[in-house]
Amino acid sequence: MIESISAALVLMSSFEVMIAIGIGSFAGIIFGAIPGLTYSMALALMLPFTFTMQPVTGISLLLATYIGGMTGGSISAILIGIPGTPSAAATVADGYAMTKKGEASIALGTAVVVSTIGGLASLLIMVLLVDFISTFAIRFGPAEIFMLVLFGFSTICGLSERSLFRGLVAGVLGLMLMTIGIDDIEGVQRFTFGNVQMLQGVNLLVAMIGLFAVPHIFEVFHLRLNKEDKVNFDIGEIKTKLPGFDFIKKYFGLMLKSTGLGVSIGAIPGSGGPIAAFLAYSNAKNSEKDPVEKEKFGKGQVAGIVAPETANNAVTGGAMVPLLSLGIPGDPATAIILGGLLIHGLVPGPMLFIENAPQVYAIYMAIFVAYIAVFIFQVNFIKHIVKILAVKPHHLACGILVMVVVGAYAIRSSFLDVNVMIIMGLLGYFFNRIKLPVTPIVLGLVLGRTLESEYRTAMSLSDGSPIIFFSSVVSVLFFLLIVLTIALQIRKRMVEIKKNKLIKKEA
Amino acid sequence: MEKSKFYLTLGLGVLAFSIIWIALVFLTIEGDIGTYANTPRTVPFFLGCCMAILGFVFLYQAKLGFRPKDPIQAIFDNEFKNITICVIFLLAYAFFLELLGFLISTPIAIFFLTRFILNEKGWKINFLFPVCMTGTIYVVFIILLNSNLPKGTLF
């Protein structure tokens, strides 16, 4: 272990890794802070450029972008009352109320400190949990892995958006796209129509760029061409005022509870930051015993920033647990990071710790350094960061456009990839318009290969008997969880329908 | 699109897609579904069936009178036109990227985009912005991160 840690230190200490963390953190904060841009988009844009980097450099860039994005969302939530990311939505009520009272600097300082504490605490829990789950998961066979991936997939499709069936349509479409190209096991061509370039199938990176970044470009340019530009925000001079040690003492219990909540929710595939932040907020409000203090929630209560910001940053550590130990991404951002890991030959799962231990420790260190970098940026450069909120959306979209075309083309120097990216972008735009989620498409593409190969390996082992999928306690447990997830979603929808009918009747 | 027709349209669309998909499974992939349900056709066929089931679910929801929670807006004519312009621009930029490489095609493309498509008049946006954007991307990815940017066939 000590050997692996020292090897990880050597990997981490290069100039390129530090620069990657710096750039990733800064880009993440910017994309997180600007309403309309998301850190998933930033990750999708960065991903193709990591292709030629060293594995640790590339992964560090992605992780820093993820962490910067999660933290940056609070900036616009506090300053303009619009959350930069859905995870920061719970921060708006008290954060923006503090800004209106002239306490924006204190609100920003509080958010930065608790985000860093929540993130670093979740890192510690993540290190312990990943190791524990990996030791357990190493005994999984193809049937268990198939059921596990299927469980993760059904949870994400069900929980990521409001409608289970719409999520499933997108997920199945992602799996269908994954089957295009050469079949991994028998080498048979599928849906290639004799085109040699189609043999490699739909490139994951190209699909991610198309689905996450291109629809934004279409939307912004369409609004600009229609002369319906979105507004830009001129904030003026602003500073971050860090709270003192007394603050940490006062809110230590709340931070601890919110971290626990964030890590637990982050570890459930498909839930993520927004749920954790809102639960932590309502928990903080409900557990406040002093009625005067309770009354202050929503009107500029510091605890109303502490709870959601600690929780949504603790989600990052939680979401990395199923990703690194089982290869199941919890949200779009971790799905893109999974794509990054796979590009560099780092296949998440129990074997990752045996085959690539130094890289895993380097990833842990990169997360730690990224939190420190994000903290430094937000404390020292906030007045420059907020100036980006004043840039017109279509000017930012020009930069994004360059990145998407260059990124898609640079992967294989293929014009076909640009075409595929545009098709995926049109699909993403159309899906956004008809309110179908795009995240399950990416998850279908990411998890599809594992799902098919484990299914077919299990079927080969059992001579075609599907009983193999129910032959162990673990696979039966995962199967029951899949049924439970679907049943709960259907029940939830039925309750909503009944409620609506009652309301209509009463009206 | 009327609210009440949403699930009907979605259901029919999903069902039509699944039928085409299943037909392609049998027409374009070699092999059989197999004794052990374990051939290259198995998973695509199963996915096509899943999609068909989901299509029927949406049709059933339409029959029950389900309505989407959020209103779905129709795609307007000018939206179609504007997106077509964007797509043509993306393709043209990619074409010139292949031909001229990143350093030459990018400032020209951004100039064209800001001046003629986005209708910006200021010299800073038309001239300084494309050069700064290209320079920043070059410095970040080539000099700092040691990554690659496309080289053209001519330059």
Residues in contact with A310: Cβ distance below 8 Å, sequence separation at least 6, in sequence order: A114, A115, A117, A118, A254, A255, A258, A259, A262, A280
> Helical H runs in A189-244?
204-212, 214-225
Residues A96 and A78: beta-carbon distance below 8 Å: yes
Strand extents, DSSP E, A78-146: none
With b meaning 16 or more CB within 10 Å and e meaning fewer, what string describes B130-154? beebbeebeeebeeebebbbbeeee
Cβ atoms of A157 and A171 closer than 8 Å: yes
State the greatest distance between any 2 C-alpha atoms of chain B, in Å, as a whole number.
Answer: 70
Handedness of CA A294, A298, A301, A302 (dihedral sign): positive
Can you tell me the distance from the alpha carbon of A499 to that of A372, in angstroms, rounded to the nearest whole number?
Answer: 47
> CA angle, A271 as apex, A268 and A272 as ends, to 5°?
100
Residue B49 predicted with pLDDT over 90: yes
pLDDT in tens, A2-30: 777 888 888 888 888 999 999 999 999 98
Name chain A contacts of B65, Cβ cutoff 8 Å. Answer: none
Q: In whole angstroms, give the CA distance from residue A154 to residue A373.
A: 36
Element (H, E) at A189: strand A189-190
Cross-chain Cβ contact A464/B39 below 8 Å: no
* Token pair of A85 as six digits: 């990311």
Largest Cα–Cα distance of chain A, in whole Å? 72
**How big is chain A, counted in residues?**
507
* CB contact set of A131 (below 8 Å; sequence gap of 6+): A353
What's residue A270's pLDDT?
63
CB A331 within 8 A of CB A270: yes
Give which of B52, B44, B46 is closest to B11, Cα–Cα.
B52
Please name the member of B10, B40, B95 whose beta carbon is closest to the beta carbon of A190. Answer: B40
pLDDT of residue A278: 84
pLDDT in tens, A462-489: 888 888 899 888 899 989 988 888 888 7
Is B137 part of the contact surface with chain A (CB cutoff 8 Å)?
A: yes
**Which of B6, B125, B141 is nearest residue A49 as measured by Cβ atoms?**
B141
Q: Do B47 and A221 touch (CB under 8 A)?
A: no
**For B144, which of A19, A168, A435 is closest by C-beta distance?**
A19
Residue B101: what residue type? G
d(CA A41, CA A43): 5
Answer whether residue A507 shows pLDDT above 60. Answer: yes
Closest partner residue to B94 (CB to CB) among A399, A409, A459 is A409
pLDDT bracket for residue A159 (50, 70, 90): low
pLDDT band per the 50, 70, 90 thresholds, residue B48 = very high
Bridge partners (DSSP) of residue A189 are A182
Strand partners, A182: A189
* Region of poorest pLDDT, from A222-226, A267-271, A355-359, B142-146: A267-271
* C-alpha distance from B29 to closest chain A C-alpha (Å): 5
Q: Which amino acid makes up residue A272?
A: G
Report helix, strand or coil for A160.
helix
Query: Mind telling me how many Å the CA of B69 is from chain A's nearest CA?
Result: 9
CA distance B70 to chain A (A): 8
Nearest residue of chain B to residue A191 (CA atoms) = B28
Q: Among A191, A222, A435, whose Cβ lies nearest the Cβ of B79?
A: A222
Chain B residues in contact with A49 (beta carbon < 8 A)? 141, 145, 147-148
Which of B50, B73, B129 shows the shortest C-beta gap to A172? B50
Closest Cβ–Cβ partner in A23, A188, A415 for B145 = A23
List, for residues B7-33, the tens digit of each pLDDT value: 899 999 999 999 999 999 988 887 666
A460 lies within 8 A of chain B by CB: yes
Nearest to A114 by CA among A302, A318, A275, A298: A302
Beta carbon pairs, A and B, within 8 Å = 177
Q: Indicate whether B1 pLDDT > 50.
A: no
Give residue-wise pLDDT tens across range A199-208.
Answer: 888 888 888 8
ipTM of this model? 0.89
List CB contacts (< 8 A) between A435 and chain B. 68, 70, 72
Cross-chain Cβ contact A221/B82 below 8 Å: yes
Partner-chain contact A175 B113, CB within 8 Å: no
Find chain A residues with C-beta within 8 A of B66's C-beta: 497
Beta carbons of A335 and A446 less than 8 angstroms apart: yes
Q: Is the pLDDT of residue A262 over 80?
A: yes
Interchain contact, A395 vs B83, CB within 8 Å: no
Predicted model pTM: 0.83
Whether residue A422 and residue B87 make contact (CB cut-off 8 A), yes or no, is: yes
Residues of B in contact with A404 (CB under 8 A): 90
User: Which residues, in sequence order, are bridge partners of residue A190?
Assistant: A181
Q: Which two tokens stand for residue A260?
A: 């626990």
Predicted pLDDT at B20:
96
Whether residue B87 lies within 8 A of chain A, CB to CB, comes out as: yes
Q: Which residues, in sequence order, are CB contacts of A5 under 8 Å at separation 6+?
A: A358, A361
User: Which residues, other chains included, contact A478 with Cβ-Cβ below 8 Å and sequence gap of 6+?
Assistant: A144, A147, A148, A150, A151
Buried residues in B50-73 as b, exposed as e (16+ CB within 10 A):
bbbebbebbbebbeeebebeeebe
Closest B-chain CA to A193: B28
**B117–chain A nearest CA distance, Å:** 8
CA atoms of B64 and A355, how far apart (whole Å) = 54
3-class SS of residue A181:
strand
* A-interface mutation test, from B10, B148, B153, most A Cβ less than 10 A away: B148
Tokens representing A473 are 């306690």
Distance from CA of A411 to the nearest CA of B (A): 9
Comparing A138-142, A191-195, A221-225, B113-117, the range with the smallest average pLDDT is A138-142
pLDDT tens digits, one per residue of A266-294: 877 766 677 788 888 888 888 877 788 77
